[in-house]
Amino acid sequence: MRKVLFLGTAMLLFSASFAISNVEVPVLKADQVFIPIGKTGQKISYAQLATISMTDLQALTGRKMSFIERMNFRMAQSKIRKSIATDGTIKNKKIAKFFTKKGGAGDSGFHLGGFALGFFVGLIGVLIAYLLNDDYKQNRIKWAWIGFGVFVVLWIILVVAVFSAAASTVP
C-alpha cells in the first residue's frame, strides 16, 4: 500500500512540475529585423517595409511590378503594419517566432516523444505528431517518422530472421 501511495505522489509531483514551466517568445523590434529585397542582396527592415512606397520598392528590386503584384504588395503591407505595435515591437507571434527560431532548440536534435510515438504507436503516432501544436511540432513530426522507420526496419529484420531459422530447420 505504501508503494502505491508513494508512486501516486511521485507521479502527481512530476506532472505538476512539468506544467509549471513557462516559455516566453523574446521581444523583437521591427527596426532590428532585416529582410533581403531583390536579387542584389540589399536588406530592408521590417518597419521600413511597412511604410515604403511602391516606387521606392521597385527601385530597390530593380524591376517593375504588374498590377496584381502591386495589389498583393499593398495587402501584405497592410498586414505588416497591423503586426507592428505602437512601441515598434512585432506583435504577431508567428512572425516573431519565424525570425527568432532560426537555429533554435526546437528545430533540431533528438525528440524522444516524437520517436516514441512513431516507434510504439506506428502510423497513428505519426498522425498524433501532426495534430499536436507547439514550438517543437516540426521536430516531433520528423522524429515520429524516424521512429516509425526504425520500427519497420526492425520488424523486417525479425521476419527475415524467423523465416530463415524456420527454413533451416525444415529437412
Q: Which tens digit of pLDDT belongs to each residue from 29-41? A: 888 888 888 777 7
Structural domain including 42 reads 34-100
pLDDT at 24 over 70: no
What are residue 43's phi and psi, to 5 degrees? -120, 150
Confidence of residue 106 (pLDDT cuts 50, 70, 90): low
Is the entire prediction scored with pTM above 0.85?
A: no
User: For residue 111, how many other CB atoms are within 10 A of its CB?
Assistant: 22
Kindly state the DSSP code that residue 31 receives in the 8-state scheme.
T
Domain edge (last residue) among 100, 124, 139: 100
Is residue 5 in a domain?
A: no
Structural domains in the chain (count): 2
Is residue 8 in a domain?
A: no
On whether both 143 and 88 belong to a single domain, the answer is no
- Of 150, 143, 109, give the one whose Cα is nearest residue 129: 143
On whether both 118 and 94 belong to a single domain, the answer is no
Is residue 9 in a domain?
A: no
Cell of 99: 525570425
